[in-house]
Amino acid sequence: MRSFGLIWVQRAAMASFVAAASPSRADPLPPAAETGECSLEGAVPATVAAVDEDFELLLDDGRRAALAGLDFPPREMAQMRAAIRSRLSSWLVDRDIFLGAFASTLDRWGRAPARIYASPADGGDAAPLTSVAAALLSAGEARFRPDPTAAACAKAYLAAEAPAREAGVGLWSRPEFRPIDVSAAGAVEDLKRRKGMMVVVGPIRSVGESRRAFYLNFGDKWRDSFTVVILRRNLAVFGQIEPRSLVGRRARVRGLIETGARIEIATPAEIEFVDGVPSR
């Protein structure tokens, strides 16, 4: 089974971009950080010539940049995709941006996986730079996807996504994208019918293991429950977390559902503990 592997905007200034789909935020998102892993550090100027139908940025020097770490609406949601593309185009085309490449090489599609920063749409070029990804996430127009290349921004992107997810805004307003609570009746059977990236939340009831992997079971009967698989070879990436100590913890998991009610995770970006208990 495949896994994703290793994976800030002032709201008032962004009102014209996020429009009525924006979540309600009491506090504006701050300008982009100048230093650190997910920041302007190392970002270089570029000019956007166009935004294509896959939300890739076509630069005026011929390069293509992908907003790594974002999961956009599927093609069946053509109206929402068109609206997002229109807003991105209005915001970014023919404007100077700052591009921070997540990798030194292009991906297999010839794109530069990147974090993108720009002045707010109605703030003028002198306004503080903000994260384009965070704007989309906070508007519910994309979900955080734990891509390996975007691992440095996982914490920031999850924080930007949280208000929209909790308020049920944008994508999160649709049943097929809402987090699935596996404690709810019929949730596991629902997961068995799903494919693609899912966000699942619930308590870890037991932990099994084999020579190959650990299995975090979210039900009393593991055969009939949702399970998170962590291969032993990936365990070191999770730091001090000991799988057996996770029984009783409430977790939010995101990853690919391919065969049955299970997700294989390979990095900390794919699992959050939402019970307020410090991870050991």
Distance between CA atoms of 111 and 198, rounded to whole angstroms?
A: 25
- What is the CATH T-level fold of the domain 180-273, as seen in this structure? OB fold (Dihydrolipoamide Acetyltransferase, E2P) (2.40.50)
Provide the token pair at 269.
């970006």
Distance between CA atoms of 153 and 279, rounded to whole angstroms?
A: 20
Residue closest to 226 by CA, chosen among 263, 193, 196, 251: 263
Question: In this structure, are residues 254 and 270 in contact, taking their beta carbons and an 8 Å threshold?
Answer: yes
Contacts of 37 (CB under 8 A, 6+ apart): 152, 153
Q: In which residue ranges of the chain is CATH 2.40.50.140 found?
A: 180-273
Q: In which residue ranges of the chain is CATH 2.40.50.90 found?
A: 12-171
Pick the CATH number of 12-171 from 2.40.50.90, 1.10.3730.10, 3.40.50.1100, 1.10.3720.10: 2.40.50.90
Residuewise pLDDT in 10s, the chain (280 residues): 445 443 323 322 233 333 333 333 434 556 898 988 899 999 999 999 999 999 999 999 999 999 999 999 999 999 999 999 999 999 999 999 999 999 989 999 999 999 999 998 776 666 789 999 999 999 999 999 999 899 999 999 999 999 999 999 999 999 999 999 999 999 999 999 999 999 999 999 999 999 999 999 999 887 889 999 999 999 999 988 899 999 999 999 999 999 889 999 999 999 999 987 655 4
Provide the token pair at 154.
């996982």
